[in-house]
């Protein structure tokens, strides 16, 4: 395949666009609208994405940790009478910290539930973003198809006009 001079192609395209713009062939505001849509698409691509699977993993870990709050500690001991001391101390400590442990478990459970809702909202937003992006891309593809059709129609008209001018005596 021959070397392609991309710069020359771009210059030719820019020259043709400038001529067509000067001749009023583009609808008013078309370029601004396409630029705005392009910026919108690019901003969507550059934003930081949130992966809810990481959040769900942390939430599973937190749920397990919540079940350990206020867990029963065995009172066994290798020291004679140590089991009695440990058992008595465990009952006294449990009496004074049981309410705190229950409140902490309830609070943690509520936080985990709220964060699960956040993860569900992130999933829903991602789905909505994908649908919106697909709509924008479909719109751009439609517009490109229209422009391609118009370009082909102009070339066909130019060809027909050239044929007519060549057929009429004294116009060539």
- pLDDT tens per residue, range 36-92: 888 887 776 666 666 677 778 888 888 888 877 776 677 777 888 888 887 888 888
Q: Which domain holds residue 84?
A: 50-167
Give mean pLDDT, residues 88-102: 82
User: Buried b vs exposed e over 65-79: b needs ≥16 C-beta within 10 Å?
Assistant: ebeeebeeeeeeeee
Number of domains the chain is built from: 1
Is 3 within a domain?
no
**pLDDT higher than 80, residue 140:** yes
| Percent helix, strand and coil across the chain, each to the nearest 5 | 80, 0, 20
Q: Alpha carbon 137 to chain centroid distance?
A: 14
Is 2 within a domain?
no
CA distance 145 to 34: 14
CA distance 63 to 127: 27
Is 39 within a domain?
no
Is 17 within a domain?
no
Is 20 within a domain?
no
* Number of Cα atoms under 13 Å in the Cβ half of residue 139: 11
Is 24 within a domain?
no
Can you give the pTM of this predicted structure? Answer: 0.46
Check if the beta carbon of residue 140 is closer than 8 Å to that of residue 37: yes
Is 74 within a domain?
yes
Residues 6+ apart with CB under 8 A from 96: none
Is 41 within a domain?
no
Count of H-run helices and E-run strands, the chain: 4, 0
What pLDDT does residue 171 have?
A: 58
């Amino acid at each position: 395949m021959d070397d392609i001079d991309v710069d020359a192609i771009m210059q030719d395209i820019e020259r043709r666009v400038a001529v067509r713009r000067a001749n009023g062939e583009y609808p008013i505001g078309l370029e601004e609208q396409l630029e705005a849509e392009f910026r919108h698409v690019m901003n969507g691509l550059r934003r930081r994405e949130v992966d809810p699977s990481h959040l769900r993993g942390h939430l599973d870990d937190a749920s397990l940790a919540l079940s350990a709050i206020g867990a029963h500690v065995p009172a066994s001991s290798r020291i004679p009478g140590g089991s009695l001391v440990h058992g008595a101390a465990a009952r006294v400590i449990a009496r004074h910290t049981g309410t705190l442990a229950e409140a902490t478990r309830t609070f943690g459970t509520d936080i985990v539930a709220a964060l699960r809702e956040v993860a569900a909202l992130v999933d829903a937003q991602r789905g909505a973003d994908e649908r919106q992006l697909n709509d924008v891309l479909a719109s751009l593809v439609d517009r490109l198809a229209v422009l391609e059709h118009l370009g082909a129609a102009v070339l066909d008209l130019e060809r027909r006009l050239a044929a007519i001018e060549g057929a009429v005596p004294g116009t060539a």
